[in-house]
Structures are given as C-alpha cells and as structure tokens.
Amino acid sequence: DARVTQTPRDKVTEMGQEVTMRCQPILGHNTVFWYRQTMMQGLELLAYFRNRAPLDDSGMPKDRFSAEMPDATLATLKIQPSEPRDSAVYFCASGLVGSGDNEQFFGPGTRLTVL
Amino acid sequence: AQSVAQPEDQVNVAEGNPLTVKCTYSVSGNPYLFWYVQYPNRGLQFLLKYITGDNLVKGSYGFEAEFNKSQTSFHLKKPSALVSDSALYFCAVRAFNQAGTALIFGKGTTLSVSS
C-alpha cells in the first residue's frame, strides 16, 4: 500500500556537521510537510510545499535549515551546521490538498541526535 | 489566532471502561478538525475528521469524536478502551494563512489503558 518513506531512520552526528533528511511522498500527493517533534515543544510545523513550490517555511530557522523539492518524488530537509538543540524526530507528511480536506499521511520519521 | 488545546497531558483508564480525550479549538470560520494517533517510534496515523455534517464522527479502531460548536470542542471518545489503545493522541485543526493551509496540532495527550 502507498506510504510516505523517510531516510535515514536514525542519524547520529557531531555538532557542526551537515545533515540531510529525505522524504518520498505518496505518489500523486501535491503537498509535502516537514515537522519536528520534541518532548518540550511537541509537534512543530517547519515548512510545507504545494506542487513543489514552498508555501510556508516560517517555522524553520532560516540560518541553518533549508527545505527543497528537487522533483515530485523527493523532498529534502538540510541542516548546516547542525547543533545539539536540533536533536529531535523529524517527520515528513504528504497530502492531497484541494480535494476538500487536509488529511495528511506521515512517514516513520528520522530520529536525529546531534552530539 | 488559530490554536488547538489539549488540556490533559495524560489520561489513564482501565480496560473496558469508556475513554475521553479532550480537545478545544480556536479558529476563524468553519473548523476542519482531525484526530491522529502516534504509537511508539512511529509516525502519526489519521483516526478521523470533522468537516461538516453530523456532529458525531466515527473513525478507525472504534474511536469517535463529537463536534460541539458552542463549546468549541472536539473530544475523542471510545465506549470500551483496549490496552492496545495506549498511545499518544493529537488533535489538529486546519489553519489558514496567506501562504495556504496547514494543520495546527495540539501538544498531544498520552492515553494509558491498564489491564
């Protein structure tokens, strides 16, 4: 069955290193979301795209985070340089906005640990 | 401002008893409301949604939610809890901004069902 995939599932890196997280949305979905989940802040929306165009990235620290959709089958979230406070689980979700509702389908997440 | 509140961090119930997980919202216009569930080390899974129509919405795994416009609430309910229902539950509301639409999630409520 169709599902959102994310790679890597786990990433441990050292402070200052670049981190790239990848997401493959469900085929045919026109909207992709990036979320960050921490114990303290809960689930935060970082950015989202519609038809590969960035619609809103106001939740993302601009100085070190960047999100792109090189094509309809790939979304990336990069952190450069990474910091310990970036440690979190990062979720990608996709949906078909415009169909009358906003149901989102979540990937399994990337657990990032920055030492 | 548009927001979602889940007033309880944790709800504890005994197996077989009814459960309620509370959610209140603040949104301009007609609300689109959602419940998601997250099991350990997994992404969020869609449970149910209210767009329009009957105030009582039925969803996956025997869950239902009641939309109450006057109280701006959308509480999640189940007549008889199972141990396997133990998970983290998120209420969400569709938000509108100048860039488009996204979901605003509550902080989450941990449901613990004891045998």
Please judge whether B43 and A101 are an interchain contact, meaning their C-beta atoms are less than 8 angstroms apart: no
B103 touching chain A per CB within 8 A: yes
Residues of B in contact with A107 (CB under 8 A): 43
Please judge whether A108 and B43 are an interchain contact, meaning their C-beta atoms are less than 8 angstroms apart: yes
What is the pLDDT of chain A when averaged over all its residues?
A: 91
Amino acid present at A40: M
Cα Rg of chain B (Å, integer): 14
Q: How far is A18 from chain B (nearest CA, A)?
A: 24
Segments of chain B scoring below 50 in pLDDT: 98-99
Contact in structure between B46 and B33 (CB atoms under 8 Å): no
Buried b (16+ CB within 10 A) or exposed e, A82-105: beeebbbbbbbbbbbbeeeebbbb
The larger pLDDT score, comparing residue B51 to residue A1, is at B51
Measured between alpha carbons, how far is residue B14 from residues A46, B36, B81, B110 in Å?
A: 37, 21, 7, 14
Q: Could you report the per-residue pLDDT of A14-28, keeping only the tens digit for each?
A: 999 999 999 999 999
Res B13: pLDDT: 98
Res A102: pLDDT: 66
Q: Per-residue pLDDT averaged across A83-103, rounded?
A: 85
Q: Per-residue pLDDT averaged across A31-59, rounded?
A: 89
User: Does the pLDDT of residue A56 top 90, yes or no?
Assistant: no
Please judge whether A101 and B32 are an interchain contact, meaning their C-beta atoms are less than 8 angstroms apart: yes
Tell me which H or E stretch contains B106: none
B37 touching chain A per CB within 8 A: no
Q: Per-residue pLDDT averaged across A54-59, rounded?
A: 83
Among A36, A43, A52, most B C-beta atoms within 10 A, so best to mutate, is A43
Res B39: pLDDT: 93
Residues of B in contact with A42 (CB under 8 A): 105-108
Of A73, A81, A61, A63, nearest in space to A20 by CA: A81
Res B1: pLDDT: 73
Of A32, A99, A3, nearest in space to B51 by CA: A99
Res A40: pLDDT: 86
Residues of B in contact with A105 (CB under 8 A): 46
Q: How far is B100 from chain A (nearest CA, A)?
A: 7
Q: Could you report the per-residue pLDDT of B17-32, keeping only the tens digit for each?
A: 999 999 999 988 888 8
Find the CB nearest A50 among B36, B51, B100: B100
Amino acid present at A64: R
